[in-house]
Amino acid sequence: MQPKIWLSSPHMGGNEMKYVQEAYDTNWVAPLGPNVNGFEEDLQKYTGAFHASALSAGTAAIHLSLVLLGVKAGDEVIASSFTFSATVNPITYVGATPILIDSEKDTWNMCPIQLEKAIQDRIAKGKKPKAILCVYLYGMPGKIEELMAVANKYEIPLIEDAAEALGSKYKGKSMGTFGKFGILSFNGNKIITTSGGGALISDDQELIEKSRFLATQARDNAPHYQHSHVGYNYRMSNIVAGIGRGQMEVLGERVAQRRANFEFYKELFADVNGVTLLEEPNEDYYSNYWLTSILVDPSKTNGITREEIRLELEKENIECRPLWKPMHMQPVFADCPFYGDGTSEKLFEDGLCLPSGSNMTDEERDRIKTAILNVFNKK
C-alpha cells in the first residue's frame, strides 16, 4: 500500500520549536505569556484587525462572541446551514435556537436573499434574531457586502466564522474584519495550526478585553477570588501560542501553496466534462483555497458520481471527503427553522473535497492525477 495522502495535514514551518523552547526555558508554561501576546500581535498585523484574543479553540471563540453580544436562552441566532457543526453548536450552549440559512450558488456561502427572508419572517413571528453567524467554507469569501447590507438594515450584529478562511480577502480586506467579530481556528487540519486553538478578532477594543476577562474565569479586580460574571477557561496556552508564532512566519507561503493546489486541479479537470470547481466568482474575491472542492454532475460524466471518485481514491489510500452535510439535514438540528431552496442539499449530494495539503509533493500530485484519470478513462 502506498503511504496515505491526507485531505489536509499539519505543516510546520521550522521556527515553531524556537518559540516553544523559549516558553519552556523562561518557565512561561501557562495560559498567558509572551508567545500569547506575540501571536495576537501577529494575527492583528496579518488580518488588519485592531484587536485579537487568542483562545483554546475556534469553537470557544464563537461561544464567547455570542456571550459578548448578550445572546441568552430563548433567543434566536441566524447561521449558515452549509457548514461544520462547530459553527452552530455554540448557539445551543447559550440556550438559543439556531435559524439555518441556505447557500447561494456562486460562493456556496450564506445566501443574502434567504437571510433577509428569514429575518422578516422571524420578526413577523415575534422574535428579532440577536446575531448572524456566517461562514466562509473551504476558504471562499461569502457575499459579504450583501450580507453586511442586510445585517445593517435590520441592525443585527454579524459574526464571521472565518475558521477556514485565514488569508482570504474580499476587495483586499481580510475575512473576519467586516462584522462585529471574526472567528479564527488553528485546529490540526486548518491552513495553519497550533495543534488546537482559535482566536476572536474585532475592531472593538472593549469587547476583546472583555473576551480575555471572560476567557480567564472572569476574575474581578480583587486580592481574593471575586466574581460578578460567569467565566470560562478558554485562554490559549503560551506553549501552543509558540507554535502559532512559528506558523505565522509561513502563513503567506501556505496560502500560495494551497492556491497552487487549486491551479493543479483546475488544469486536471479542464478537459473533463461535468466536473466544476468552487472558484472565486470575480477578482474581488481572494480565497486561501484551504480545500479545493468540486461538483460532479453525473448527467455529464457518463454517470460517474462523486462517491465513485471518492471510493476509487480511497482504494489508492488517498483521502477525499464529501462536502460538509448541511446542518438542517443533521439529526441534531432537524427541528431548527430553515430558510432555503435546496442549494446546499444539492451541493452535499454532488460535492467532494480533494486532498489540499500545503505539504503535498509532486509525487503525491502525480498519484492523485493518475487515480482521478483512471476513474474517467474506465468509462
Ligand X SMILES: *Cc1c(COP(=O)(O)O)cnc(C)c1O
Q: 183 with 190: CB under 8 angstroms?
A: no
- Asked if residues 262 and 234 have their Cβ atoms less than 8 Å apart, the reply is no
Q: b/e map of 123-133 (b: 16 or more CB within 10 Å)? A: eeeeeebbbbb
Among 198, 340, 355, 357, which residue interacts with ligand X (rule: CB under 6 A)?
Answer: 198
Residues 265, 275: Cα–Cα separation, whole Å: 11
Q: Which residue is nearest to ligand X (CB)?
A: 58
Is residue 104 at the binding interface for ligand X, with CB under 6 A as the rule?
A: no
Nearer to ligand X, 57 or 94 (CB): 57
Q: Return contacts of 304-308, CB within 8 angstroms, 24+ apart.
A: 304/274, 304/375, 304/376, 304/379, 305/350, 306/350, 306/351, 306/352, 308/375
| Region from 31-39, 160-168, 275-283, 346-354 binding ligand X, contact rule CB under 6 A | 160-168
- Closest CB to ligand X among 63 and 367? 63
Q: How far apart are CA 124 and CA 341, in angstroms?
A: 20
| 52 near ligand X (CB under 6 A) | no
Question: Using the rule CB under 6 A, which residue among 52, 64, 69, 86 binds ligand X?
Answer: 86
Rg for the chain (alpha carbons), in Å? 21
> Smaller CB distance to ligand X: residue 187 or 293?
187
* 3-class secondary structure, 265: helix
Q: Angle at Cα 189 formed by Cα 184 and Cα 191, nearest 5°?
A: 55
C-beta closer to ligand X: residue 179 or 364: 179
Q: Which is nearer to ligand X, 81 or 301 (CB)?
A: 81
Q: Tell me the helix, strand and coil percentages in the chain, rounded to 5.
A: 40, 15, 45
| Total residues binding ligand X (CB under 6 A) | 14
Is residue 8 within the footprint of ligand X (CB under 6 A)?
Answer: no
Give the binding range for ligand X (CB under 6 A) out of 54-62, 115-123, 255-263, 355-363: 54-62
Phi, psi of 185 (to 5 degrees): -130, 145
Among 168, 187, 202, 237, binds ligand X (CB under 6 A): 187
173 assigned to active site = no
Among 42, 104, 116, 161, binds ligand X (CB under 6 A): 161
From the candidates 4, 190, 300, 315, which is the catalytic residue?
A: 190
**In 3-state terms, what secondary structure has residue 113?**
helix
59 lies in the binding site for ligand X (CB under 6 A):
yes
| Run of H or E including 293 | strand 293-296
| Site for ligand X contains 159 (CB under 6 A) | no
Task: Catalog residues that contact ligand X under the rule CB under 6 A.
Answer: 57-59, 83-84, 86-87, 135, 161, 163-164, 185, 187, 198
Write out the catalytic residue numbers. 190
